[in-house]
Amino acid sequence: MVTTPRHPVDEYRPLSRMALFGLQHVLVMAAAPISSVFIVSAALGLSTELSVNLLAASFVLSGIGSLLQSLGPFRIGARLPFVMLPGGAPVVLFISIAEQHGVRTAVGAVIITSVFYLVVLPVFTRLLKFFPALVIGTMIVIVGVNLVKVSAFLITGRPGDPDFGDPRALLLGMATIGFTIAFFWLFTGVLRQIAVMLGFVSGTVLAVLLGTTDFSGVADSGFVQAPQPMPFGVPEFSLLASVPLLIYSFASMAETTGQTVVNGQAVGRDVDIRRDAPRTIRAEALTSLAGGFFGTPLMVCSGENIGIVRVTGVRSRFVTVAAGIILIVIGFVAPITAVVSAIPAPVVGGTAVLVFGVVIVLGVQMLQRTALDDHTNTFIIGAALALGLMPILVPGMYEAFPPNARILLESGVAVGAVSAAVLNALFHHLRPRLYGTARPSTEDGTESPSRPDAADGRTTPDGHPDAADGTADPGHSPAPADGTADPGRSPEPMEDDLRF
C-alpha cells in the first residue's frame, strides 16, 4: 500500500524539537503583549495588579488564538503556522476610545468589532477578487516597513525621550542582530534553524552582564495566576465610540488576507484565498471576542512569526501549536511572566528588526509574481507604496484632519491597501470597459488575460497584464486568480535550511 507523504506544514516533529522551535516563536513575539500592556497601563494609569492581570490574559489569549489558527477546528483557523498577539494599531485605538469614552466603553468597542468581523465576513469574501497578489504584495511591503520602524524604536527609544539613542541600548540591539547573523552563518541544521532564538538569548545574557535588566519582580511573584474576566467591570457598548475600530476592521481583514497568502507561500502550500482567508479572520474574530471579556485590545496574527517560518524553514503548524501551549503556560505561571516582562526592549527590537526585514522580502517576492514589466502595474505599485509609506515616514502629517478621518489616513497599511485595491480596480477592471476593450470575464469575475501586441510586444491599451490578478507571464496560461503559484511551473529551488 502506497502512503501519501505529509506536506511539510502537517509534519509531526520530535516533541523536544517542537518545543524548542515553539519557544523560538514565543520569544520573538513576546514583545507584543508586553509592550501593548505597558503602553495601555501607562496611558490609562492602571495599577500594577491590573497590569499583571492584563499581561497574563494577553499571553493566554495569544496561546488560544495560536491553537485555533494552527489546528483549524470547525473551519476556525487556516491550519497554517500562525501565532496571534495584541495588534499594534488596535492598541492605539483602544487607548484613544478609552481616553474619550472610558475604558469600559473601549472594551465594549472590542466586543462590537469582533462580532462585526463575523457579520461582514461573507460580504468581504466576495470582495477578495479586488485583492490579488499586486494589492497584497504592496500591503505586505508596507506592513514590513512599518514593523521595522516600530522595532527600531524599541532599540533607540523615540525622538524626544530622555534616553533616545542611549549607547548601551544601541549596543544591545546591534549586538543581538550581530549574534543572530553570526549563528546563522556559523551553524547548519537544527542550530541554524534556532539562530533567531540563540541570538535573542545571547542578547539577553549580554544585557544581564551590562546590568540593564531587573529580575527582582520574579522573587516577589507567586507561582500560579489566573486572568480575571472583566477586570474593568461590565463592558459598556456604544456604536458611535466603536466607529474607529469598525473602520480599522476592514483594513485588518485585508491585512489578514495578505498574511494568509504569505504564510501559505512561506510553507509551500497552495492557499485558496476564498476558503482560507475567512478561516483565519474567523479565528481572529473569536479570539478578539474572548479577549474583550478579559480587557485586551483586538488580537491579530503575528507578522514576525511568518518571518520566523521563512528564515528557519521549519514549516510544521504543530510548532506553533507548541508555541500556543507555551504561551498559555506563561500566562498561568507568574514567575515566567515576570521573567519575560523583564527582557530589555533593545534585545527584543534587535530580533524583531531582522524578522520584519524578512517580511518585507516576502512582500517583494509576491510582487515579483506580477507583471512588473507592465507599466500599469509599476504605476499602481509605486503610487500605493508612496501613499501608504507617507504617514509612516512622516508621522502627524494628518493632524489637522478630523479625528475619524485621521484613524484611516494615519494607518499606512490601510491607505496602501485601499490605494492599491482602488487603482487595481480602476485600471484593470473599469478602464477596459470605459474604453471598449473589456474582455470576457474569468471564473472569478475578473477580466480575461490580454496578449502582447504582435507589432511592438506591448500589452493592449488598457495595460492589463496577462492574468486577471496581474500575476501571469505573457504567452502562458494565467496564474490562478487567488494569487497562488501556477501549478504548471516548476517550483523554485530551496535550500535545506533557508527557503527564500
Give one DSSP letter per residue of 325-362, joined into a string.
HHHHHHHHBHHHHHHHHTS-HHHHHHHHHHHHHHHHHH
Average pLDDT over residues 240-261: 82
Q: Mean pLDDT for the chain?
A: 80
User: Is pLDDT of 1 > 60?
Assistant: no
Looking at residue 229, the DSSP 8-state letter turns out to be S
Minimal CA–CA distance to 483: which of 470, 465, 464?
A: 470
Residue 480: pLDDT over 80: no
Residue 392, by phi and psi: left (phi above 0), alpha (psi -120 to 50) or beta? alpha
pLDDT of residue 490: 37
Give the pLDDT confidence score for residue 221 in this predicted structure: 67
Which of 251-260, 316-325, 441-450 is least confident?
441-450
Q: What is the mean predicted confidence (pLDDT) over 217-235?
A: 83
What the block records as the C-alpha cell of 233 is 467591570
CA separation for the pair 204, 172 (Å, rounded): 8
Q: What is the pLDDT of residue 327?
A: 94
Q: Are 351 and 175 in contact (CB under 8 A)?
A: no
What is the pLDDT at residue 482? Answer: 41
78-118 pLDDT tens trace: 999 999 998 767 887 788 788 888 999 999 999 999 999 99
Question: Residue 462 pLDDT > 60, yes or no?
Answer: no
Q: What is the mean pLDDT of residues 283-297?
A: 96
**Per-residue pLDDT averaged across 167-181, rounded?**
93
What percent of the chain is modeled with pLDDT above 70? 83
The answer on pLDDT for 500 being more than 90 is no
Q: What is the pLDDT of residue 84?
A: 93
Q: Which residue has the higher pLDDT, 366 or 499?
A: 366
Residue 246 has a pLDDT of 85
Longest dimension (CA), the chain: 79
Give pLDDT tens digits for 137-157. Answer: 888 888 788 878 878 888 888
pLDDT value of residue 132: 80
Reduce the DSSP state of residue 456 to 3 states and report it: coil
Q: Which pLDDT band holds residue 294 (cuts at 50, 70, 90)?
A: very high
Higher confidence at residue 382 or residue 87?
382
Q: What is the DSSP letter of 428?
A: I
pLDDT attached to residue 359: 77
Write down the domain spans for the chain.
8-357, 371-479
Q: Which of 360-364, 384-388, 478-482 has the highest mean pLDDT?
A: 384-388
Confidence at residue 148, expressed as pLDDT on a 0 to 100 scale: 84
Residue 301, beta-bridge partner list: 84
Answer yes or no: is pLDDT of 442 > 60: no
Among 87-91, 237-241, 391-395, the minimum mean pLDDT is found in 87-91
**Per the confidence metrics, is the pTM higher than 0.75?**
no
